[in-house]
Amino acid sequence: MIDQPQKIVALVDGSVYSASVCDHAAWISQKIEAPVELIHVLGRREASDIHDHSGAIALGARTALLEQLAELDAHRAKLISQRGRAILEDAQALMEKAGVTELTTRLRHGDLVDALADIETDARVIVIGKRGEAADFAKGHLGSNLERIIRASRKPVFVASRAFKPIRKVLVAFDGSASAMKAVDHIARSPLFGGLAVHVITVGTETPEVAKGLAEARAALHAGGIEAETLVLPGQPETALAKLVEEAQFDLLVMGAYGHSRIRSLIIGSTTTAMIRACKVPVFLMR
């Protein structure tokens, strides 16, 4: 039996970020030659609950009211499902326009994170928007599902920015740890980064150990056909990296998702939220 190629999972919710999610997923698909699955999850908050507002109404009227409420609830659930299918149809049209031919769609019910274990089983990467449906009303907040997905996922997570633009220049946040080298090795082996300008940046003080780590990272990338530039940047990661991304016009930030160093621990606390919010480019969180 021939194993099917691992797919790119793109989570679409109908927000203004959904088009960007589709565009970035299409870019990844074409770079690594992998199929895409578009998924929309009807969360618990979208499910309608039947509430008894009948009070002390007589039994017959109360029964009739409950029946009407049940009918309204069923109608609302049907409309929500139709909306979910419409979101997937729109996303599918965007993907096809972008040239993606291997494409499937799936409508799920329940909590997104609860469904994640099944969703990511054969996924190479999960693509999700930086913010969700309330993006225009809560510009200072990230999507409610984003941090939960990042914490729970065992696969790389690609956080799409508000709008897609061609990705040519990549900043890799590097701290010299074993997991950071693992991320570099992944970059070196992945066709996703082929032909891109890769810069490996360590934030902190330049020491012999830091220089050695950067040299090893550069050598690993060279072995994979990527000629990377390296740099030690003073300051704090959450401010220094965000500033560099903007000033040097990077198109993508790649960083580790877990750990205890200053860079890798960003994803654990509020600094990560600030980092993803501050960067106007997509952020690729590696495992």
Q: What is the layout of strands, in order, in the sheet containing 7-11?
A: 103-109, 36-42, 7-11, 123-129, 157-160, 283-286, 252-256, 169-173, 197-203, 229-233
Q: Rounded mean pLDDT of 157-183? A: 90
Q: Which residue has the tokens 């002390």?
A: 56
On the question of pLDDT at 49 being above 50, the answer is no
Question: What is residue 267's predicted lDDT score, i.e. its pLDDT?
Answer: 44
Amino acid at 268: I
Note the CATH architecture for domain 169-286: 3-Layer(aba) Sandwich (3.40)
Sign for the pseudo-dihedral over CA of 50, 110, 255, 250: negative
Instruction: List C-alpha distances in Å: 40 to 27, 104, 257.
Output: 20, 12, 24
**Distance of CA 191 to CAs 28, 121, 186, 273, Å?**
9, 21, 10, 29
User: What percent of the chain is modeled with pLDDT above 70?
Assistant: 80
Q: What percent of the chain is predicted at pLDDT more than 90?
A: 48
Please list, residue by residue across 66-94, b when 16 or more beta carbons sit within 10 angstroms of its beta carbon and e when fewer do. beebeeeeeeeeeebeeebeebbebbbeb
Q: In angstroms, what CA-CA distances link 48 with 15, 44, 55, 204?
A: 20, 8, 20, 51
Residue pLDDT, tens place only, 96-146: 999 999 999 999 888 888 888 888 889 999 999 987 554 443 444 455 678
- Supply the pLDDT for residue 139: 43
Strand partners, 10: 38, 127
- In 3D space, the residue among 258, 241, 272 whose CA is nearest the CA of residue 180 turns out to be 258
Q: How far is CA 67 from the centre of its chain?
A: 42
State the alpha helices, DSSP H only, in 106-145: 112-119
pTM: 0.83
Q: Does domain 7-46+81-160 have CATH number 2.130.10.10?
A: no
Count, residues in the chain: 287
Q: How far apart are CA 213 and CA 215, in angstroms?
A: 5
- Domain chopping of the chain, boundaries: 7-46+81-160, 169-286
Residues 6+ apart with CB under 8 A from 243: none
Instruction: Please identify which residue in the block is written with the tokens 């150990």.
Output: 209
Instruction: State the Cα–Cα distance between residues 243 and 252, nearest whole angstrom.
Output: 13
pLDDT tens digits, residue range 133-149? 544 434 444 556 787 88
Q: Residue 264 gets which letter from DSSP?
A: G
Q: Tell me which of 240 and 257 has the higher pLDDT.
A: 240
Contact 41, 108 (CB under 8 A): yes
CB of 176 closer than 8 Å to CB of 170: no
